[in-house]
Amino acid sequence: MKLPDLHKITSYEITKRQKIVLMALFLTVVLITTQTVGESVRYQTIGFLTLATVLLSIFALWGELSGVKYFLLLLLPAYFVAGASLFYFLLPVRWLTRLPFAALFGVSVYLLMLTSNIYNVASIRTIALLRAANAVGLLFSLVSTFFLTNVLFSLHFPFYLNVIGIALITGPLYLVGVWASELEDYISQRAFWYAVVFTMVTSQVGLVLSFWPIVPINGALAIATVMYALLGLSQLYLEDKLKSRVLWEHIGVALLVFVIITISTRWGG
Protein backbone atom coordinates (compact mmCIF):
# COMPACT_ATOMS: atom_id res chain seq x y z
CA MET A 1 0.00 0.00 0.00
CA LYS A 2 1.34 3.43 -0.97
CA LEU A 3 1.88 5.75 1.94
CA PRO A 4 0.54 9.34 1.70
CA ASP A 5 3.02 11.92 0.53
CA LEU A 6 4.39 13.46 3.74
CA HIS A 7 5.46 16.59 1.89
CA LYS A 8 1.89 17.30 0.76
CA ILE A 9 0.63 16.95 4.32
CA THR A 10 3.24 19.16 5.95
CA SER A 11 3.12 21.80 3.20
CA TYR A 12 -0.61 22.38 3.51
CA GLU A 13 -1.36 26.08 3.27
CA ILE A 14 -4.49 27.77 4.54
CA THR A 15 -6.36 29.67 1.84
CA LYS A 16 -7.08 33.38 2.01
CA ARG A 17 -10.82 32.79 2.40
CA GLN A 18 -10.14 30.41 5.30
CA LYS A 19 -7.97 33.06 6.94
CA ILE A 20 -10.81 35.58 6.65
CA VAL A 21 -13.34 33.11 8.11
CA LEU A 22 -11.05 32.34 11.06
CA MET A 23 -10.46 36.05 11.60
CA ALA A 24 -14.20 36.77 11.67
CA LEU A 25 -14.86 33.88 14.08
CA PHE A 26 -12.04 34.90 16.43
CA LEU A 27 -13.10 38.55 16.61
CA THR A 28 -16.74 37.56 17.15
CA VAL A 29 -15.84 35.25 20.03
CA VAL A 30 -13.72 37.99 21.63
CA LEU A 31 -16.56 40.49 21.19
CA ILE A 32 -19.03 38.15 22.91
CA THR A 33 -16.51 37.53 25.69
CA THR A 34 -16.35 41.27 26.40
CA GLN A 35 -19.89 41.03 27.78
CA THR A 36 -18.44 39.36 30.86
CA VAL A 37 -15.67 41.89 31.54
CA GLY A 38 -15.98 44.78 33.97
CA GLU A 39 -15.99 48.45 33.07
CA SER A 40 -12.44 48.86 34.41
CA VAL A 41 -10.99 46.82 31.51
CA ARG A 42 -13.56 47.74 28.86
CA TYR A 43 -11.34 50.07 26.87
CA GLN A 44 -8.36 47.71 27.14
CA THR A 45 -10.54 45.00 25.60
CA ILE A 46 -11.58 47.29 22.76
CA GLY A 47 -7.93 48.19 22.21
CA PHE A 48 -7.05 44.49 22.04
CA LEU A 49 -9.83 43.87 19.51
CA THR A 50 -8.65 46.74 17.32
CA LEU A 51 -5.00 45.69 17.47
CA ALA A 52 -5.97 42.08 16.75
CA THR A 53 -7.96 43.30 13.74
CA VAL A 54 -4.92 45.09 12.32
CA LEU A 55 -2.62 42.09 12.81
CA LEU A 56 -5.13 39.58 11.49
CA SER A 57 -5.86 41.80 8.48
CA ILE A 58 -2.17 41.78 7.60
CA PHE A 59 -2.17 37.99 8.03
CA ALA A 60 -5.27 37.57 5.82
CA LEU A 61 -4.16 39.94 3.05
CA TRP A 62 -0.49 39.01 3.04
CA GLY A 63 0.94 38.42 -0.40
CA GLU A 64 -0.24 41.42 -2.40
CA LEU A 65 0.15 44.09 0.28
CA SER A 66 2.54 46.81 -0.79
CA GLY A 67 3.07 50.56 -0.57
CA VAL A 68 0.17 52.56 0.84
CA LYS A 69 -1.99 49.42 0.98
CA TYR A 70 -0.17 48.45 4.18
CA PHE A 71 -1.81 51.51 5.71
CA LEU A 72 -5.05 52.16 3.83
CA LEU A 73 -6.42 48.62 3.68
CA LEU A 74 -6.10 48.23 7.45
CA LEU A 75 -7.98 51.43 8.33
CA LEU A 76 -11.54 50.43 7.50
CA PRO A 77 -11.46 47.04 9.31
CA ALA A 78 -9.86 48.67 12.37
CA TYR A 79 -12.36 51.54 12.41
CA PHE A 80 -15.32 49.21 11.96
CA VAL A 81 -14.25 46.84 14.73
CA ALA A 82 -13.46 49.71 17.11
CA GLY A 83 -16.79 51.39 16.38
CA ALA A 84 -18.83 48.20 16.60
CA SER A 85 -17.20 47.13 19.88
CA LEU A 86 -17.74 50.58 21.42
CA PHE A 87 -21.36 50.58 20.26
CA TYR A 88 -21.72 47.04 21.62
CA PHE A 89 -21.29 48.35 25.15
CA LEU A 90 -24.13 50.84 24.61
CA LEU A 91 -26.60 48.03 23.92
CA PRO A 92 -28.87 46.68 26.68
CA VAL A 93 -27.07 44.10 28.83
CA ARG A 94 -29.09 41.18 27.47
CA TRP A 95 -27.93 38.18 25.48
CA LEU A 96 -31.10 38.45 23.38
CA THR A 97 -29.85 41.80 22.09
CA ARG A 98 -26.11 41.30 21.98
CA LEU A 99 -25.93 37.83 20.44
CA PRO A 100 -27.70 38.85 17.19
CA PHE A 101 -25.48 41.93 17.07
CA ALA A 102 -22.38 39.75 17.51
CA ALA A 103 -23.54 37.42 14.73
CA LEU A 104 -24.08 40.39 12.42
CA PHE A 105 -20.67 41.69 13.47
CA GLY A 106 -18.99 38.43 12.38
CA VAL A 107 -20.71 38.46 8.98
CA SER A 108 -19.76 42.11 8.55
CA VAL A 109 -16.08 41.44 9.30
CA TYR A 110 -16.11 38.64 6.72
CA LEU A 111 -17.68 40.86 4.03
CA LEU A 112 -15.41 43.76 4.90
CA MET A 113 -12.28 41.63 4.57
CA LEU A 114 -13.47 40.26 1.23
CA THR A 115 -13.85 43.87 0.10
CA SER A 116 -10.35 44.73 1.35
CA ASN A 117 -9.00 41.72 -0.53
CA ILE A 118 -10.62 42.93 -3.75
CA TYR A 119 -8.96 46.33 -3.26
CA ASN A 120 -5.73 44.50 -2.50
CA VAL A 121 -5.56 42.70 -5.83
CA ALA A 122 -7.59 45.06 -8.02
CA SER A 123 -4.62 47.38 -8.51
CA ILE A 124 -2.70 44.41 -9.95
CA ARG A 125 -5.41 43.10 -12.25
CA THR A 126 -8.91 44.22 -13.17
CA ILE A 127 -11.68 42.60 -11.17
CA ALA A 128 -15.36 42.62 -12.13
CA LEU A 129 -16.36 42.77 -8.48
CA LEU A 130 -14.65 46.12 -7.94
CA ARG A 131 -17.89 48.06 -8.34
CA ALA A 132 -19.60 45.93 -5.70
CA ALA A 133 -16.56 46.33 -3.45
CA ASN A 134 -16.84 50.11 -3.68
CA ALA A 135 -20.49 49.92 -2.66
CA VAL A 136 -19.69 47.65 0.29
CA GLY A 137 -16.74 49.84 1.27
CA LEU A 138 -18.97 52.92 1.28
CA LEU A 139 -21.55 51.10 3.38
CA PHE A 140 -19.01 50.08 6.02
CA SER A 141 -17.52 53.57 6.03
CA LEU A 142 -20.97 54.93 6.87
CA VAL A 143 -21.62 52.28 9.52
CA SER A 144 -18.21 52.84 11.14
CA THR A 145 -18.78 56.60 11.15
CA PHE A 146 -22.24 56.15 12.68
CA PHE A 147 -20.96 53.88 15.46
CA LEU A 148 -17.97 56.05 16.36
CA THR A 149 -19.73 59.42 16.20
CA ASN A 150 -22.65 58.05 18.20
CA VAL A 151 -20.21 57.15 20.97
CA LEU A 152 -18.48 60.53 20.58
CA PHE A 153 -21.73 62.50 20.98
CA SER A 154 -22.75 60.24 23.88
CA LEU A 155 -19.69 61.43 25.84
CA HIS A 156 -20.94 65.07 25.72
CA PHE A 157 -17.53 66.57 25.07
CA PRO A 158 -17.01 70.32 24.51
CA PHE A 159 -17.53 71.45 20.93
CA TYR A 160 -13.84 71.66 20.10
CA LEU A 161 -13.26 68.04 21.13
CA ASN A 162 -16.24 67.01 19.01
CA VAL A 163 -14.68 68.74 16.00
CA ILE A 164 -11.32 67.06 16.58
CA GLY A 165 -12.97 63.69 17.15
CA ILE A 166 -15.08 63.91 13.98
CA ALA A 167 -12.00 64.89 11.96
CA LEU A 168 -10.07 61.90 13.31
CA ILE A 169 -12.99 59.59 12.57
CA THR A 170 -13.98 60.75 9.11
CA GLY A 171 -10.63 61.92 7.66
CA PRO A 172 -8.99 58.49 7.23
CA LEU A 173 -12.26 56.96 6.01
CA TYR A 174 -12.64 59.67 3.38
CA LEU A 175 -9.06 59.03 2.28
CA VAL A 176 -9.68 55.29 1.90
CA GLY A 177 -12.94 55.89 0.04
CA VAL A 178 -11.48 58.31 -2.49
CA TRP A 179 -8.34 56.22 -2.96
CA ALA A 180 -10.50 53.15 -3.65
CA SER A 181 -11.87 54.91 -6.72
CA GLU A 182 -8.34 55.32 -8.09
CA LEU A 183 -6.51 52.29 -6.65
CA GLU A 184 -3.07 53.71 -7.26
CA ASP A 185 0.05 52.49 -5.48
CA TYR A 186 0.24 55.90 -3.86
CA ILE A 187 -2.09 58.57 -2.50
CA SER A 188 -2.64 61.08 -5.28
CA GLN A 189 -2.87 64.81 -4.61
CA ARG A 190 -6.48 64.73 -5.75
CA ALA A 191 -7.40 61.99 -3.26
CA PHE A 192 -5.55 63.80 -0.48
CA TRP A 193 -7.23 67.16 -1.05
CA TYR A 194 -10.65 65.60 -1.53
CA ALA A 195 -10.26 63.91 1.85
CA VAL A 196 -9.05 67.17 3.47
CA VAL A 197 -11.95 69.24 2.13
CA PHE A 198 -14.56 66.58 2.97
CA THR A 199 -13.16 66.29 6.49
CA MET A 200 -13.33 70.05 6.99
CA VAL A 201 -16.94 70.19 5.80
CA THR A 202 -17.99 67.27 8.01
CA SER A 203 -16.18 68.73 11.03
CA GLN A 204 -18.01 72.03 10.53
CA VAL A 205 -21.32 70.17 10.52
CA GLY A 206 -20.20 68.50 13.76
CA LEU A 207 -19.39 71.94 15.18
CA VAL A 208 -22.93 73.14 14.47
CA LEU A 209 -24.45 69.97 15.92
CA SER A 210 -22.44 70.47 19.12
CA PHE A 211 -24.67 73.46 19.93
CA TRP A 212 -27.93 71.71 19.10
CA PRO A 213 -30.05 69.94 21.76
CA ILE A 214 -29.65 66.79 19.70
CA VAL A 215 -29.60 63.20 20.89
CA PRO A 216 -26.39 61.26 20.07
CA ILE A 217 -28.01 58.90 17.59
CA ASN A 218 -29.38 61.82 15.55
CA GLY A 219 -25.99 63.52 15.56
CA ALA A 220 -24.34 60.32 14.34
CA LEU A 221 -27.00 59.96 11.64
CA ALA A 222 -26.33 63.52 10.45
CA ILE A 223 -22.58 62.97 10.20
CA ALA A 224 -23.06 59.66 8.37
CA THR A 225 -25.46 61.36 5.95
CA VAL A 226 -22.90 64.06 5.16
CA MET A 227 -20.37 61.32 4.43
CA TYR A 228 -22.90 59.49 2.27
CA ALA A 229 -23.43 62.58 0.13
CA LEU A 230 -19.79 63.70 -0.15
CA LEU A 231 -18.08 60.33 -0.48
CA GLY A 232 -20.81 58.72 -2.57
CA LEU A 233 -20.91 61.57 -5.10
CA SER A 234 -17.12 61.86 -5.27
CA GLN A 235 -16.73 58.15 -6.04
CA LEU A 236 -19.29 58.40 -8.84
CA TYR A 237 -17.56 61.51 -10.20
CA LEU A 238 -14.12 59.89 -10.19
CA GLU A 239 -15.56 56.87 -12.00
CA ASP A 240 -17.30 59.12 -14.59
CA LYS A 241 -20.70 57.80 -13.52
CA LEU A 242 -22.17 60.93 -11.93
CA LYS A 243 -25.53 61.84 -13.44
CA SER A 244 -27.83 64.73 -12.54
CA ARG A 245 -30.50 62.29 -11.37
CA VAL A 246 -28.05 60.62 -8.95
CA LEU A 247 -26.90 64.03 -7.72
CA TRP A 248 -30.44 65.07 -6.84
CA GLU A 249 -31.10 61.70 -5.20
CA HIS A 250 -28.18 62.23 -2.82
CA ILE A 251 -29.26 65.79 -2.10
CA GLY A 252 -32.82 64.61 -1.50
CA VAL A 253 -31.68 61.97 1.01
CA ALA A 254 -29.56 64.53 2.86
CA LEU A 255 -32.46 67.03 3.02
CA LEU A 256 -34.87 64.33 4.19
CA VAL A 257 -32.54 63.30 7.01
CA PHE A 258 -32.05 66.97 7.97
CA VAL A 259 -35.82 67.50 8.17
CA ILE A 260 -36.31 64.35 10.27
CA ILE A 261 -33.54 65.38 12.68
CA THR A 262 -34.90 68.93 12.95
CA ILE A 263 -38.43 67.74 13.67
CA SER A 264 -37.32 65.13 16.22
CA THR A 265 -35.09 67.58 18.13
CA ARG A 266 -36.50 68.95 21.40
CA TRP A 267 -35.93 72.69 21.11
CA GLY A 268 -37.77 73.56 24.32
CA GLY A 269 -36.82 72.69 27.93
Could you give the C-alpha distances from 227 to 9, 142, 184, 224, 251, in angstroms and in order?
A: 49, 7, 22, 5, 12
Answer for the pair 258, 222: CB distance below 8 angstroms, yes or no: yes
Q: Is the Cβ–Cβ distance between 211 and 142 less than 8 Å?
A: no
> Per-residue confidence at 25, pLDDT binned at 50, 70, 90?
very high
User: What does the domain layout of the chain look like in residue ranges?
Assistant: 14-127, 137-269
Write down the pTM of the prediction.
0.88
CA distance 132 to 96: 32
Give residue 121's pLDDT band: very low, low, confident or very high (50, 70, 90).
confident
Reading phi first (left if > 0) and then psi (alpha if -120 to 50, else beta), residue 156 is in left
User: Given this model, what pLDDT does residue 41 score?
Assistant: 78
Residue 46 contacts residue 102 (beta carbons within 8 Å): no
Residue 9 in this model has a pLDDT that exceeds 60: no
Q: What's the rounded Cα separation, in Å, for the pair 137 and 22?
A: 21
* Of residues 54, 58, 36, 56, the one with CA closest to residue 45: 36
Per-residue pLDDT at 195: 95
